[in-house]
């Protein structure tokens, strides 16, 4: 069976309000829909990524550099196709400076990811099995947490607790809350009030988005050690990723998470070998797609490292369900923050008792709303 077409449709959707984390703010929810059509009459479809600045370049790489490599190829040859895409010249300007050149590689790896994820959906559909079963089928539901606890003007303890109670009422296992924008003392207080109000069973992870120098991360970690924090995500500044994360791990008895910004298995290898992480939250839409994510998960298992996943529940759910060391799938339960999750899929996976159930339809098992795709397609505006 041969691939006969590859299509990329960038979606751009401005948000009604601004969301602020430790080191950034979000004003738009973008994503990329990829379709791969085969001569067996099936179309693999995936969506993912939240790329704002370089979205049009990602589309350009898919259309100009990757699509010609795939047309006419056998759809079963996933490893071979991945390697061809990895070796391809993305056709972007070569800056000749290694660290800047990584930007081009990051764009290329996002493009490969978009194609690879759609290809795996196509494989699932061609076999007639849900993707998580094709990948190993370890479980059919995955614990789910909210991404929340954003900072907002006028938001105090009362509003924070109300937000968390909403997640609990919605059947979520807990929250990954933002830290790192306030003082360490204030952030410790925020975590403490959530723990006291929501009880011991409510999962609380903390994500600093690389806000702290190692000393502040260690101060925060030490102060919340008695609060049952599930993990500390990206606690240190970007330039201290290896040494700083290791320092935090050595000083604090809370698992350290990083990896969401890595673009390949090689960056993950360095995090592991430098003893910088307990858990990797590699994003399948950034780091080369399902093929590369599975390689990273295999490497992690050899070192006793758990696998989380940065956002993108539509794919993460299948990946985390397919391996024994998969942790929590995460969603934005607030439709204002992630409207695409609420209306791009025709139907969301069911959430009950702290778990998200894996769809049992072939492939990713999530049909997309064509009206939403048409409404937010940036194709004519971007290219
Ligand atoms: Mg994060």
Q: Do 114 and 168 lie in a common domain?
A: no
Q: Do 247 and 124 lie in a common domain?
A: no
| CATH number of the domain bearing residue 31 | 3.30.390.10
The model scores a pTM over 0.85: yes
CA of 309 to the centre of ligand 1 (A): 9
CA of 42 to the centre of ligand 1 (A): 35
Task: Output the pLDDT for position 382.
Answer: 46
CB-based contact 228:200 (threshold 8 Å): yes
Task: Output the pLDDT for position 383.
Answer: 43
Q: Do 190 and 267 lie in a common domain?
A: yes
CA of 118 to the centre of ligand 1 (A): 24
CA of 297 to the centre of ligand 1 (A): 18
Q: State mean pLDDT over 156-170.
A: 97
Q: Do 83 and 140 lie in a common domain?
A: no
CA of 68 to the centre of ligand 1 (A): 34
Residue 342 has pLDDT above 80, yes or no: yes
CA of 314 to the centre of ligand 1 (A): 17
User: Looking at 23-37, 105-119, 205-219, 277-291, which range is the least confident one?
Assistant: 23-37
- Among residues 362, 379, 378, 368, which one has the least CA distance to residue 126? 362
Answer yes or no: is 271 within a domain.
yes
Q: Do 97 and 152 lie in a common domain?
A: no
- Among residues 87, 205, 210, which one has the least CA distance to residue 149? 205
Q: Do 204 and 323 lie in a common domain?
A: yes
User: Looking at 143-147, 261-265, 336-340, which range is the least confident one?
Assistant: 336-340
Q: Do 376 and 337 lie in a common domain?
A: no
CA of 207 to the centre of ligand 1 (A): 6
CA of 234 to the centre of ligand 1 (A): 6
Task: Output the pLDDT for position 26.
Answer: 82
CA pair distance 62, 75, nearest whole angstrom: 17
CA of 127 to the centre of ligand 1 (A): 34
CB-based contact 32:10 (threshold 8 Å): yes
Residue 93 has pLDDT above 80, yes or no: no
Band the pLDDT of 95: cuts 50, 70, 90.
low
Q: Do 123 and 183 lie in a common domain?
A: no
Answer yes or no: is 364 within a domain.
no
Question: pLDDT for 33-72, tens place per residue?
Answer: 999 999 999 999 999 998 888 999 999 999 999 999 999 9
Residues 6+ apart with CB under 8 A from 239: none
* Count of the separate structural domains present in the chain: 2
Task: Output the pLDDT for position 98.
Answer: 76
Q: Do 77 and 181 lie in a common domain?
A: no
CA of 151 to the centre of ligand 1 (A): 15
User: Looking at 15-24, 189-198, 274-283, which range is the least confident one?
Assistant: 15-24
Q: State mean pLDDT over 305-331.
A: 98
Residue 172 has pLDDT above 80, yes or no: yes
Give residue 167's domain range: 133-357
Q: What is the mean pLDDT of the chain?
A: 95
Task: Output the pLDDT for position 381.
Answer: 52
């Amino acid at each position: 069976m041969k691939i006969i077409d590859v299509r990329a449709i960038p979606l751009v959707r401005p948000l009604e309000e601004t969301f602020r984390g430790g080191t950034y703010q979000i004003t738009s929810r973008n994503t990329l829909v990829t379709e791969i059509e085969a001569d067996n009459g099936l179309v693999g479809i995936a969506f993912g990524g939240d790329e704002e600045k370089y979205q049009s370049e990602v589309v350009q790489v898919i259309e100009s550099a990757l699509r010609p490599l795939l047309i006419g190829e056998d759809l079963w040859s996933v490893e071979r196709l991945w390697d061809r895409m990895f070796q391809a010249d993305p056709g972007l300007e070569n800056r000749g400076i290694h660290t800047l050149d990584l930007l081009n590689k990051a764009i290329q790896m996002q493009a490969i990811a978009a194609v690879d994820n759609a290809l795996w959906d196509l494989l699932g559909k061609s076999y007639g099995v849900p993707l998580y079963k094709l990948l190993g089928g370890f479980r059919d539901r995955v614990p789910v947490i909210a991404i929340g606890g954003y900072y907002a003007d006028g938001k105090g303890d009362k509003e924070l607790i109300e937000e968390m109670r909403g997640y609990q009422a919605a059947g979520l296992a807990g929250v990954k809350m933002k830290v790192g924008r306030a003082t360490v003392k204030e952030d410790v207080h925020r975590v403490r009030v959530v723990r006291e109000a929501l009880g011991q069973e409510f999962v609380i992870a903390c994500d600093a988005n690389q806000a702290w120098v190692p000393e502040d991360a260690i101060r925060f970690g030490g102060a919340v050690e008695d609060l049952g924090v599930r993990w500390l995500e990206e606690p240190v500044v970007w330039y201290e990723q290896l040494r700083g994360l290791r320092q935090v791990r050595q000083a604090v008895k809370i698992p350290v998470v990083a990896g969401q910004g890595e673009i390949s298995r090689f960056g993950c290898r360095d995090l592991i070998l430098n003893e910088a992480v307990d858990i990797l939250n590699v994003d399948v839409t950034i780091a080369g797609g399902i093929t590369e994510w599975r390689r990273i998960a295999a490497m992690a298992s050899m070192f006793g490292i758990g696998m989380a996943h940065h956002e993108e529940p539509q794919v993460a759910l299948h990946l985390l369900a397919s391996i024994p060391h998969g942790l929590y799938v995460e969603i934005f339960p607030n439709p204002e923050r992630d409207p695409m999750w609420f209306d791009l899929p025709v139907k969301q996976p069911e959430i009950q008792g702290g778990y998200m159930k894996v769809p049992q339809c072939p492939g990713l098992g999530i049909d997309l709303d064509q009206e939403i795709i048409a409404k937010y397609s940036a194709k004519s505006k971007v290219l």
